[in-house]
Structure 1
Amino acid sequence: METAKEIKDFLTTRRAKITPDQVGLPTVGRRRVPGLRREEVALLAGVSAEYYIQIERGQVAGVSDEVLHAVATALRLDDVETAHLFDLARVAGKAGRRQSRARTPRRQVSEALQALVDAMVAAPAIVQNGQLDIVAANSLGRALYDAVYDDGPEPPNLARFIFLNDRADDTFPRWEKAADDTVALLRVAATKAPYAKAITNLVGELATRSPEFRTRWAAHDVRAHRSGTKDFRHPAVGDLTLRFEALDAAAAPGLSLIGYTAEPGSASEEALMLLASWAATERTAPRSPLAP
């Protein structure tokens, strides 16, 4: 990852989203940029234009946390975007030292974590890592993501499925949002582990094979995956709108446990009960004598 370019592109795309009117600055003369000028960001952050230009070029060695917070405030960054800026600055600070191209650690799901996932019998649950591999699931989670599991060899990968599988827009009816969220999550993971081979290889593959991914990657959006709703379409039970909560696995950094629930009394709750029946049937169905 070229950290200086990442910083430049991130800050440039953020200031392009803000107009002078939004921050109380006058609009004078013809503007050649869609958002704030660099000089205007510097004014709002309380630093000189030359200093801000240096920061935007990725020259952040020695830049204090106070200045980074001031830039984040000037650009109206949210908590996730602010954390991302600090992660970029941290990586840039290490750029002068020789960095190895590390492998992403193979995150083994502990017996205790798997037991917890399996105990969630009424709610779909999965465990995923930073590059969006599904590394564990309970029975309902496996059923909910059945199409993703069918996509290829283990572990199934959500990003690869969403951008490279023809069934993705049917499995995820709100495909545009799913695609946006996927890239924003990968961007965060790639910055936190800039030398992780698994993540950089995945990003390279998707950028090469998917124009939709390339467009979103160039936007430099970042996002957290903590709570919200997600839409699914399952061939056996139809459409489901489910609430989700994501929890970091404290004993296994880099892994997140995601559980799904349906609104009580909703059509999605009924569909979720049907999905449980379908999953049980799939588990107990006899295998064909001709099956391998």
Structure 2
Amino acid sequence: MDNRAEVREFLTSRRAKITPQAVGLPDVGSRRVPGLRRGEVAALAGVSIEYYAKLERGALGGVSASVLDSIARALQLDDAERTHLFHLAHAADGTSAGMRPRRRAGKRWTPRPSLQWVLDNFNGPAIIRNGRMDLLACNQLGRAMHATLYDASVGEPPSFARFTFLDLDAAHDFYPDWDTAADICVAILRTEAGRDPHDKDLHDLVGELSTRSLDFRRRWSSHDVRQHGAGTKYFHHRVVGDLELAYESVDMISDLGLTLTLYAAEPGSPTAHALDLLASWTTQPTLTHPDA
């Protein structure tokens, strides 16, 4: 991906979201485009307008952390956006190459036996994905919960991104709030693109989805990023019905670039009973993971 274009579009899109009133500036004169002017951002960040204009054109290489912090404050970036800005700066000066986890080309990652034991001993659904939104591992309940995703998958591993934007009927049924799920999916991919701009598989995925999905293309152009740590998600399972699940996601220190997500239902809730039912079915021979 073109780093200069990424920087330019990210900074201009963030600037367009900030009104003068939001940063305590008077709204003087007509504005050709929404948001702050470059000069206003420069003043808020304590740099010259010429210097900020250079940065917004994509020249982030060699910029100090203090300047990046000042720009982040001026643009009121949240934690995910600030981290994304630093990733873009690292990519611009080449340091991101040394920060990326090394991958073995052509070899699919598989969980260590001990890691699979951990997944299997968790009572709720548990999954592991990468930054490209590939579902790489899960326990039996996690697989049963995502049966629609596995059924829709062409090849391995299953892709949340392709499922969300290319299998629309199934995805709209699985995600009751499809728009939010789609927003989150693209924001995670955009975050990964900033973290690892040299990932060819990610480039290919973005190119494919941009070509085949207007919904994806529109969201990708917004340059939104996010940290996906904890919260509540809603699903509709084709057998047990609606599921309201709390989730916790953590980056895996032992496997850089991968994320472990654990789901749990409120004790005694309809979702807890639905998961109990789903779990009982996963123990039946006809519904057991074929590799188990």
Give TM-score, length-normalised by structure 2.
Answer: 0.92
> Where does residue 117 of structure 1 map in the other structure?
119
Matched residue pairs, number?
A: 280
C-alpha contact (below 8 Å) 1:232/1:241 kept by paired residues: yes
C-alpha contact (below 8 Å) 2:110/2:137 kept by paired residues: no
C-alpha contact (below 8 Å) 1:236/1:278 kept by paired residues: no
Looking at structure 2, the residues matched to 11 and 201 of structure 1 have their Cα atoms a distance apart, in angstroms, of: 24
Q: Does 1:84 align with 2:84?
A: yes
Looking at structure 2, the residues matched to 38 and 108 of structure 1 have their Cα atoms a distance apart, in angstroms, of: 47
> Where does residue 189 of structure 2 map in the other structure?
186
The 3 A distance-change label for structure 1 pair 224 and 238 is same
Q: For 1:1-292, what aligned pairs fall within 5 Å after superposition?
A: 1-94=1-94, 103=105, 106-120=108-122, 122-152=123-153, 153-165=155-167, 166-281=169-284, 283=286
The 3 A distance-change label for structure 1 pair 105 and 228 is farther
Give TM-score, length-normalised by structure 1.
Answer: 0.92
Paired AA for residue 211 in structure 1: L
The 3 A distance-change label for structure 1 pair 22 and 187 is same
Looking at structure 1, the residues matched to 93 and 64 of structure 2 have their Cα atoms a distance apart, in angstroms, of: 12
> Where does residue 100 of structure 2 map in the other structure?
none
> Where does residue 290 of structure 1 map in the other structure?
none
> What value does the CA root-mean-square deviation take over the aligned residues?
1.8
The 3 A distance-change label for structure 1 pair 282 and 24 is farther
Paired AA for residue 60 in structure 2: V
Looking at structure 1, the residues matched to 46 and 64 of structure 2 have their Cα atoms a distance apart, in angstroms, of: 13
Higher alpha-carbon deviation: 79-88 or 105-114 = 105-114
Give unmatched runs, 5+ long, in structure 1: 288-292
Q: 1:180-199: per-residue Cα shift (whole Å, max 9, x none)? A: 00000001112222121211
Higher alpha-carbon deviation: 274-283 or 213-222 = 274-283
C-alpha contact (below 8 Å) 1:104/1:196 kept by paired residues: no
The 3 A distance-change label for structure 1 pair 284 and 128 is closer
Looking at structure 1, the residues matched to 62 and 174 of structure 2 have their Cα atoms a distance apart, in angstroms, of: 47
Looking at structure 1, the residues matched to 116 and 257 of structure 2 have their Cα atoms a distance apart, in angstroms, of: 16
The 3 A distance-change label for structure 1 pair 284 and 181 is closer
Q: 1:208-243: per-residue Cα shift (whole Å, max 9, x none)? A: 100000000000000111111111101110000100
Aligned to 1:16, the other structure's residue is in SS state: helix
- How far apart are 1:271 and its partner, in Å? 1.4
The 3 A distance-change label for structure 1 pair 70 and 105 is farther
Aligned to 2:284, the other structure's residue is in SS state: helix
Paired AA for residue 71 in structure 1: I
Paired AA for residue 259 in structure 2: S
Looking at structure 2, the residues matched to 104 and 84 of structure 1 have their Cα atoms a distance apart, in angstroms, of: 28
Spell out structure 1 runs of 4+ moving beyond 6 A. none
Paired AA for residue 275 in structure 2: L
Q: 1:141-196: per-residue Cα shift (whole Å, max 9, x none)? A: 00110000111222111000000002101001110000000000001112222121
Looking at structure 1, the residues matched to 19 and 89 of structure 2 have their Cα atoms a distance apart, in angstroms, of: 25
- How far apart are 1:106 and its partner, in Å? 3.6
C-alpha contact (below 8 Å) 2:19/2:36 kept by paired residues: yes
Looking at structure 2, the residues matched to 224 and 62 of structure 1 have their Cα atoms a distance apart, in angstroms, of: 25
- How far apart are 1:278 and its partner, in Å? 2.6
C-alpha contact (below 8 Å) 1:15/1:35 kept by paired residues: yes
Looking at structure 1, the residues matched to 278 and 287 of structure 2 have their Cα atoms a distance apart, in angstroms, of: 14
C-alpha contact (below 8 Å) 2:61/2:90 kept by paired residues: no
- How far apart are 1:104 and its partner, in Å? 8.0
- How far apart are 1:107 and its partner, in Å? 2.7
- How far apart are 1:46 and its partner, in Å? 0.6
Paired AA for residue 148 in structure 1: L
Paired AA for residue 281 in structure 2: W
- How far apart are 1:116 and its partner, in Å? 0.5
Higher alpha-carbon deviation: 244-253 or 14-23 = 244-253
C-alpha contact (below 8 Å) 2:232/2:247 kept by paired residues: yes
